[in-house]
Amino acid sequence: MEQIENRTFDEIRVGDTASLVRTLSYQDIELFAIMSGDVNPMHVDADFAKSDQFHQVIAHGMWGGALISTLLGTQLPGPGTIYLDQSLRFRHPVRLGDTVTVTVQVTEKAETKHKVLLDCRATNQRGEEVIVGIAEVIAPLEKISRPRVLLPEVDLHRS
């Protein structure tokens, strides 16, 4: 079984990075809309989206924000991380089929409250930065290594 393990505050160094790669599917958009309640037609209605400024359905901006949260909570620092603050700028839309590489990099550490500041970036397969920002977290002090929890599969059905 796959393990999930953190990096403690003492293990983290300025310059440390973590990345993940995801390709946006329509099911990702639908699941995000269901979970968030954001049914803005530019995300979920292909006919409407044809007439908007992007001419097609695009991802919710916070889909990319959620991928940043995934990195912070599962890799760097990982389990036990407390997410305090984020600032994100959405520079380009993420379109269906886009492959996005999300990277976080440690830029500062504050010993007093075990805070870590991370640069956050998401880039598409064309090399365009689609999201840039920063995140502030409290890094865990104790090592955590556990089996990754298996989540249920989800099937979407229209009624």
Cβ–Cβ < 8 Å for 6, 77:
yes
Neighbour-count burial of 38, counting CB atoms closer than 10 A to its CB (0-12 exposed, 13-18 middle, 19+ buried): middle
Q: Compute the mean pLDDT over every residue in the chain, rounded to the nearest whole number.
A: 96
- Please provide the size of the chain in residues: 159
pLDDT value at residue 1: 79
pTM, to two decimals: 0.93
| Residues 38-92 pLDDT 10s | 999 999 999 999 988 899 999 999 999 999 999 999 999 999 999 999 999 999 9
Say what percent of the chain tops pLDDT 90.
Answer: 91
Q: Which two tokens stand for residue 56?
A: 């097609």
pLDDT at 159 over 90: no
Domain coordinates in residue numbering, the chain = 3-24+61-142
What angle separates helix 26-36 from helix 61-74, to the nearest 10 degrees? 90
Q: What CATH number was assigned to the domain covering residues 3-24+61-142? A: 3.10.129.10
pLDDT value at residue 157: 87
